[in-house]
Structure 1
């Protein structure tokens, strides 16, 4: 072997020696990547399972919201006639209260002049009679 061959082989040997630490570092990095890859795959499976569970929960939530909406609509439909009835009763009660107030005002000057028992005012309906009875019982209880 000639000197040139020896020099070339020595240079090749030095380069191979210098490449060994790089190869070891590369092998360790590849091992870590493989470990991270399995962890990533596990995370991806967990993420897909969480997405499926979230979709199922969203479907259940949507069904619950629709059911609640239907129940509210039914109750609202039931309450509207009651509201109308109450509005009618309040209007009648206000009219009766105004009428009763007028009768009381008209009766005060008479009561101040001559004390005598009050004559029952002829009432038109059972509601008016009940209202007058409730007012007189309330006035007696207040004394």
Structure 2
């Protein structure tokens, strides 16, 4: 072998010696990646399970929301019926109050007339028309109000 070949082989040998720590370091990094790959696969499986659980939860939430909306709409319909009934009753009460007010105004002039005392020697009083209890109560209330 010539000097040139020896020099060339020594250079290759030096380069190989220098490359050995780099290869050891690279091999350690690759073995770490292989170890972490198992953990990564496990976490990917865990992520898939979490996604499946989240989808199931969303389905249950949608069902619950639909049920709640159905119940709310039923109660709104019942409330609207009650509102209409109350409106009708209020209108009837207003008309009855107006009629009662008219009757009270008719009775006031009769009650407001001065009472003439009856003499003891006068004959029996003329027969009063039969009145209902409500009329008697109304007249008594009007007398007390004066």
Same fold (TM over 0.5): yes
- Structure with greater helix percent: 1
Matched positions, count: 129
Q: Whole-Å Cα distance in 2 between the matches of residues 68 and 87 of structure 1?
A: 28
Normalized against structure 1, the TM-score is what?
0.66
- Bigger radius of gyration: 2
Match of 1:131 in 2: 134
Unaligned runs of 5+ in 2: 1-5, 120-124
Match of 1:60 in 2: 67
Q: Tell which deviates more after alignment, 12-21 or 130-139.
A: 130-139
1:42 is displaced (CA, Å) by 1.5
Instruction: Pick the aligned partner of 1:84 from 83, 88, 91.
Output: 91
Unaligned runs of 5+ in 1: 124-128
Match of 1:126 in 2: none
Q: Which has the higher contact order (CA 8 A, sep 6+)?
A: 2
Normalized against structure 2, the TM-score is what?
0.65
Q: Whole-Å Cα distance in 1 between the matches of residues 137 and 49 of structure 2?
A: 77
Instruction: Pick the aligned partner of 1:75 from 70, 79, 82.
Output: 82
